[in-house]
Structure 1
């Protein structure tokens, strides 16, 4: 390894550790939940080290929910860009691939607006104005009114070939956006993992740890939902998985999909390396996990995984990706808090659905069905 590469790794790792130290603390979470209005949340964040550089409006206390969410959504992307100044082309390309996942979300939301008639196109315009997308012609995409318009906005970009068949089939035969969404998720996860595999030692291992885990969790989640909510056949459930494996093999996924019933499937999943997300009740019997609880449990695995990389003491671009993962999950928590405050939900109940690993202690007790793997 060249001295230049060593310098790259040291510089970005040091910066990532500084940024991590600016993330919101457990006390910040508690204070945010005690506010009565979204404007109070905006004013508090505007004074915090974590968000003050990004909330520049004169009166943050006047921010409405949509405006505040639009600002904080862009924060992880805005923070990804400066890291590339310290990196060579190979590692910078990997970071760009991470950022492109958010561009894909814009495409998904445009597709959803076209197929359902629901959504806020103006909110997407604000997002693209803050951080221009790089996987499509942004102007054409935001103006798209048909599936063909979306495809035309992708012409000349890698996603054109990926989405051409599923979007043309959807236009001709109808149905859902599932195939198109999975095609995009598969493309970017495999692209990130492929680029990460070229990196040596702890860097390559760290990238696989972050995104391989994400792929595993997506696969388990889709099999679970396919069997529990949609009554799909085992073959159909397996067909919904990403062609990416990390700690869960195809054989193990098959055992989940071909389980005779949902309780048997949950029992098998609980015996896997990610089984803690499904929990048990106090009698030790297998239970079907509440959908929202399960989703947040899976996010907590990602949080724990990213934090583990920091504790390893290694250096490299994977440390940056670990930080960006934590930042992304913090933003999801802020969305939860904003919604809870906006609609005056029960504070204690709201704390149970925070991704932050201290969420269980916030609630004062562990919720039945949630294992102590969060600690």
Structure 2
């Protein structure tokens, strides 16, 4: 056992956490909630999910609070697990928290590009105050995109967005988000290289699959909804996947039709990834498709190394997306059976 990883303690803790978070009886109650207040009380009563409600500000809009708290669940769990690791293993796990930095930074970028005030924006932040790689207090003093980019000089994000203009952020939101996410996955793969051989291979396998699925999600959306060229789609794709090498990504980006794209995806994955897409074919469907694939791939894996931690984090991603969908479903009174279609976790 690697001395930098308290494996047995982590395994016991994660098994317990998963048991609480994925309690099917609780989820059936979540779906049947008749109001956001009722749903919030159910979530608070869950032994694991309820822990992240301790800092909620009850004076704010309940729905905003609920979605922010749910988004904070991943950060809370990663911070908790980091204490069981040391050395390169701790640094590897900290890299996952870059995603929370990206989400908060993206929120600031969008606000500034639209000329909106940053007052009150901190209430929606989800980044880790313990392990953030950015000085958010300084960033919040920016008054425009140009000032913000200057403030990011020296950070891991600077090179990717240093040439962005206000118009880029306002009109091409995918541009800066893909640039930021490329930093996240580059950092994860670089830090995975420093782990012991077996852990390194497992880490790159799981993270690589996540990259593959994000590329499918990205190319799918770009082909169907964005008026951009195949060259641009290819340019913004992420590197480091397992299944999709450079040639396969290029083939997908330069597909002559959407049907050809789907055929190629199924061929590369040796699985009909799109079999559960509904006729409406909306954005949320592709989210569910990739979440469900990752969720089902990981839920029965029995890792005896760092994989138990990584798989738990990616399961949390699906859980948070599903709980957010339930929140929106309750808010807008989506029929319960219809709501279930939008969940990766099939109860």
TM-score scaled by structure 1?
0.82
Unaligned 5+ runs, structure 2: none
The Cα shift of 1:281 comes to 8.7
- Select 2:196's aligned residue among 196, 200, 204: 200
1:332 alignment counterpart: 321
Aligned mate of 1:292, from 275, 279, 284: 284
State the alpha-carbon separation in 2 of the partners of residues 300 and 339 from structure 1. Answer: 19
Number of the residue aligned with 1:260:
256
Does the 8 Å CA contact 2:292/2:345 hold for their aligned counterparts? yes
Task: State the alpha-carbon separation in 1 of the partners of residues 257 and 123 from structure 2.
Answer: 45
1:277 is aligned to 2:273: yes
Indicate conservation of the 8 Å contact 2:97/2:131, yes or no.
no
Q: Contact 1:24–1:50 at 8 Å: present in 2 too?
A: no
**1:16 shift after superposition:** 1.8
Q: State how far apart, in whole Å, the 2-side matches of 1:173 and 1:112 are.
A: 7
Residues in 1 aligned to 2:69 and 2:276: alpha-carbon distance in whole angstroms: 38
Deviating more after overlay: 259-268 vs 89-98: 259-268
Distance 2:277 2:187 in 1: 39
1:87: which partner in 2?
85
Residue 241 in structure 1 maps to residue 237 in structure 2: yes
After superposition, the C-alpha distances for 1:329-370 in whole angstroms (9 at most, x for unaligned) are 212211111111112111111110012143xxxxxxxxxxxx
Q: Which residue of 1 aligns with 2:74?
A: 76
Give 1:173 shift.
10
1:349 equivalent in structure 2 = 338
Give the equivalent residue in structure 2 for 1:301. 293
Name the SS of the counterpart of 2:79 in structure 1: helix
Are 1:42 and 2:34 an aligned pair? Answer: no
Equivalent residue number for residue 323 of structure 1 = 312
Q: Structure 1 residues 64, 173: closer, same or farther in 2, change over 3 A?
A: closer
Counterpart in 2 of 1:138? 136
Paired residue for 1:96? 94
Whole-angstrom CA distance in 1 between matches of 2:170 and 2:120: 27
* CA positional deviation for 1:246: 1.4
Is this contact kept in 2: 1:13–1:317, CA < 8 A? no
- In the TM superposition, residue 126 of structure 1 has moved relative to its aligned partner by 4.8
Report the alpha carbon displacement of residue 132 of structure 1 after superposing the two structures with TM: 5.7
| 1:45, distance to aligned residue in structure 2 (A) | 1.5
> After alignment, is 321-330 or 198-207 more displaced?
198-207
Q: CA RMSD in A?
A: 3.1
Unaligned runs of 5+ in 1: 359-375
- 1:20 aligns with 18
Deviations 1:151-191 (A, max 9, x none): 233234222233223x2x45699852333222211111011
Cα contact 1:97–1:192 (8 A) shared by 2: yes
Q: Secondary structure at the match of 1:74?
A: helix
How far did 1:230 drift?
Answer: 3.0
1:59 is displaced (CA, Å) by 11
Whether contact under 8 Å (1:10, 1:316) holds in the other structure is no
Pairing 1:173-184 to 2, within 5 Å after superposition: 175-184=171-180
- Residues 265-293 of structure 1 deviation map (CA, whole Å, 9 limit, x = unaligned): 222222221743212799xxxx8944321
Distance 1:196 1:177 in 2: 29
CA distance in 2, matches of 1:251, 1:114: 38
Measured after TM superposition, the shift of residue 253 of structure 1 is 1.9
